Structure formats: structure tokens, C-alpha cells
A and B are shown apart, each in its own frame.
Chain A
């Protein structure tokens, strides 16, 4: 459905200098700086996939989305969406795609929401029949009817986001780009939006490309994720594989009766593994014994029995490394690698 190969995007900016003297200097200098926002990125996305496209701020996510929607032209490389080059045939491509930019709205600010939908119906040339059916479906999943007659400027952020998502889906696009669709929303609305995206994806086999900083979005929606950093692709694969590779650390949290007994206790020594593969931490205040271990090397029961041989335990908790932690780790590595 989407084919991106070796796409690069450079932005040329006039060079700016700091301070007032710099501002004056800037008036006379013609120097340009080139910023590479996207650097040789390639990927393919099939029909019906929901792909999370993530990266830290300024990593080049939005730029890539803009190239795929035809707003920006790549400096180098090619991009095809449903067989169409979005930059050469922007209008044809626009008919195939729906876009939600979480920080902007495509609705008519001064008009009632219903008007925006009628306008979009004309713009996308949606037939009356299709319009009715689609509105019924959107109403059901997004619950638009409650604020359908209110001017867009009076809608709450959650309502507006639902309306924007509805507007992007009115013409039943083949590809849906969501640029931070849940930004600034409360948990209930977030959940609604996610459910709606899932339902749409199931019903129409719509391909969804989602950029987000919300790990929940990714865990609940995406089967595949692409991570970019400083314009380069650093990971492309399934969520499970990512967790497998990076998220092998598990933490066993044990509440013990007498924490003093635990000092000097080292399961790593007893189990015969290296120190960093099984780290022990003591929390005297809460009488907690925390053991962080490598999930590939050790099993939780092994450690548990080792501990129980020595110390009396009152409570147990096992934690997987959260995706957020993994992503943080990857971002850090990505920047350190420079």
C-alpha cells in the first residue's frame, strides 16, 4: 500500500546568529544551513496494517508523514501510496488518504460541525448514499451526534479530535495518517479514539500510520512499529520482537519480613551468573528486595526458590520492562551513537 524507498528530505534555512549583533549580521549574510530532517528512509506497509511510527521530538516523523501525504516533496528517493506518487499527483492521492494532525484541525472553525461534513462531502465527491452509510457508522463509533450542530470553535478538545477523525474518514480512505491523534486527551477519550481506529481498521481494512508519543496508543493498536531517530530508521519490526530484543529485563519485587537478613545476600553468586545479569537492590524503608534479571538467562521461579531458602517472604510482584522504558532506552542509544 505504501512504498517508501530511500527518501531524504533536506531543509535549507538561512543561517541565524545569536543576539542583536547576530540579527544584524543575518541581514547581510547569505549563508544557508542545510538540515537533514529525513535521512534515507525506506519501508513498505501492506494493506490493513496499523503501523506505529515513533521517534523523539524532531526526529522527522511529521516530515515523513508530510511526504507521504504529498504536502512536501522529498529531496531524494521515491514514495508511492496506493501506486500514486503523492508529490506528483497530489490531488489524486488526496482522494485516497485521510489525515489527522492532532495539533491542527481541518474543520471549518466558524461553522457548525455538520456544515464541515457537508463541505467535505462535496470536496471528496461522496455520493448521498455513501455519505449516509458512512455517517451512520461514524456516529456509532465516534458518537458525533451529541455535538453535530455546534460550531467547531465551541467543541472540547476531545470532541474536536473525534470530529477531526470522522472528517478524515468521511470519504473512506485507503490510508489513514494520524499524527498524534491522542495528544492532550483524557483517558476515556483516548480509549474511545483507539477503539474507533481499531473498528475502522477491521471494517474497511484501512491502512493506518500512526505517530505518537503515547506508548498506550502503540501497545493497544500497533502490530508493527518503526522507530526513527535524527531522520534515520533505527528499528522496524513487530512489537513483540522489540520487547524480546530490548525488554528482556524483568524485575522481581519481594517484600520480606526482616530486611536486615537480606543485606549481603547475592542470588547472582548462588546461581552462578554474572553480577549485571542479576542485580539486587535493597529498599530498607519498605522492606523490599528488588532483583532485576535477564529474562533470557534466568527464570523467575529459580530466583524465587533461591531467595526463599534464605529469607521469609510476605509478598511477590513480577514486573516486565515497560515499552516506555524500552523506547526511552532506544532514543538514548540513538543519540549516543552519534
Chain B
């Protein structure tokens, strides 16, 4: 097993190096995304300002601020577009070069995605997080900093990452049948922003819709870790949520293996 990890480690490190090589694009990307988060922020502030209720969807105004930025941050760390890489590999035919090596294609993608995740976490996310912690300390009425919550948040985020990547791998498999999945990827992104709670906290949806979401993996991708961070889940509920995330990891892993086996049976390598 140790040797297997050693074989995949280079993919992680390589991706880290690659990210550092394209710094300009990366910071621009952060800026654009931050812009979105701030629009979201002002929108919610206006909503809170125009109502005389203290809490909306179970969140106070202060909690909502944390929610918005934490959801943005978690979304950035977690949503590494593996399907994009798969589609690139399919279009350029480089998938063949991966298949001649004694490695698992999915594992190599996950390792590569880990590099991306680590970089996103280290470079923009940590700073935003520190900013949020200062905000939390400055605004009265918010729960105090808790190392335990942060720890659970981190565990939950890693699970979220795995859920997203495994899901996106399955999604990327479509590229083997249709070659181009750009359009579908746009649809997926819009749906993900909505269903994971990045746009609107899931607690705002009607009860019936929330029941449906319970049976989909998406709420486990962003909503769960953010709620853990906010301290909305405690005790048994917290464990149940983590367990549900773990169950999704296993389920999507098995599903991915199944699809991969089907795909390799009818693989067509483009370009000779």
C-alpha cells in the first residue's frame, strides 16, 4: 500500500507545481470568484436589512456572513474539476498515455486533484479564513472560536472533496461517449452551485425539497461542512452527517468503478 501511495504522490506534487507556474491566471480567478461572493454578501445584507426578523432560514445576520464566505471558500477547495481533465484527455487522446502505466486512472486524477485542493487551501483560503475569524471575534453574538469545530470542519471538507471528485469522475465519463462535454459542464456547474448550498443555504428550501436533497450527494459537498463549522450540528447529528458523507464516498467510489469498467470496454482512442 505504501508503494502505491508513493506512485501517486508525484501527481499531487506535479499539480502543485503547475498551479504555481500559472500564478497570474490563478489570482485573477480568485478575484472574479471573490466578486461573486461579495455580490452574494450585499444581497443578503439587503435582505436582512429589509426584514424585522432576526433569523432567516435559521441563520442570524452574523452567521449568514460567515456562511456566505465559508461556503465560497469550501466550494473553491472542494470543486476541483476532474471532469475537465478527463474531457481534455479524451479529446487529445492522452488517456492512452495514462493507460500504458501501471496506475489506476481514477487514482491518478484524485491525486492530481489533491494537489489542486492543497494549493487552493493554502493560498487564498487560509487568508479568507483568518479574516472571517477576526470578524467572528469582533461581532458580538457569534459563537466563539472552537478548535473542535475546526477539526470536524476539516474532516468534513476532506470527505466533501472526495465526494465531489468521485462524482465528477463519473460525470467526466460522459466525455468518453460524447467527446465534448463543455455544455454539460456549464449545466453541471449551475446545478452544483444551487444544490450544494453555495448560492442559498439549503435550510431556505421548503421541507419537501430538503427531504429530496437528503438523498442526493450534493448537500454533502458544501452545506454539511459549513454547517459543522457554524456549530449547527452537534453530538449524534454531527456523527450522522459525517457518516452520511462517508457513505457517499463509498457509494460514488463503487459507482465510478462500475462505469470505468464499462467505459474501458468500449474505449475509442482519438487521433490514431
| B-binding residues in A (CB < 8 A) | 11-12, 62, 66, 69-73, 90-92, 94-95, 97, 99, 101, 103-106, 108, 110-111, 115, 118-119, 122-125
Contacts and interface: CB of A to CB of B under 8 A. Distances in A.
Given A72-B267, A72-B269, A122 B100 contact: no
- Which of B6, B14, B99, B264 has its CB near the most chain A CB atoms (within 10 A)? B99
A97 B104 contact: no
B97 interface: yes
Nearest to B9: A122
A105 B272 contact: no
A141 to B, nearest CB: 22
B17 interface: yes
A26 B96 CA distance: 28
Contact of B97 (A95, A104, A125): A104
A-B interface, 3 closest residue pairs, ranked by CB to CB distance from nearest: A94-B102, A119-B10, A91-B102
A39 B18 CA distance: 43
Contact of B104 (A91, A111, A119): A91
Contacts of A92: 102
B97 A101 contact: yes
Contacts of B102: 91-92, 94-95, 123-124
B18 A123 contact: no
A293 B220 CA distance: 81
SS class of chain A's interface: helix, strand, loop or mixed?
A: mixed
B251 interface: no
B268 interface: yes
Nearest to B93: A104
Interface of B: 3, 6-7, 9-10, 14, 17-18, 21, 93-94, 96-97, 99-104, 264-269, 271-272
Given A123-B102, A125-B7, A71 B96 contact: yes
Nearest to B5: A122
- Which of B99, B102, B264, B267 has its CB near the most chain A CB atoms (within 10 A)? B102
A247 B166 CA distance: 58
Contacts of B266: 12
A62 B97 contact: no
Contacts of A99: 100
A95 B264 CA distance: 19
Contacts of A73: 264-265, 267
Given A62-B272, A111-B17, A119-B14, A94 B9 contact: no
A101 B10 CA distance: 22
A73 B267 CA distance: 8
A158 to B, nearest CB: 20
Given A71-B96, A71-B99, 19 more contacts: A69-B100, A72-B267, A73-B265, A92-B102, A94-B101, A95-B102, A97-B100, A101-B96, A103-B271, A104-B94, A106-B97, A108-B14, A111-B14, A115-B14, A123-B7, A123-B102, A123-B103, A124-B101, A125-B6
A94 B100 contact: yes
A254 B181 CA distance: 66
Given A11-B268, A110-B21, A111-B14, A66 B96 contact: yes
A103 B10 contact: no
A103 B272 contact: yes
Nearest to A125: B3
B10 A122 contact: yes
Nearest to B98: A106
A123 B96 contact: no
B100 A71 contact: yes
B267 A118 contact: no
Contacts of A12: 266
Contacts of A104: 93-94, 96-97
A330 to B, nearest CB: 22
Contacts of B269: 66, 71-72
A103 to B, nearest CB: 6
Nearest to B103: A123
A231 to B, nearest CB: 15
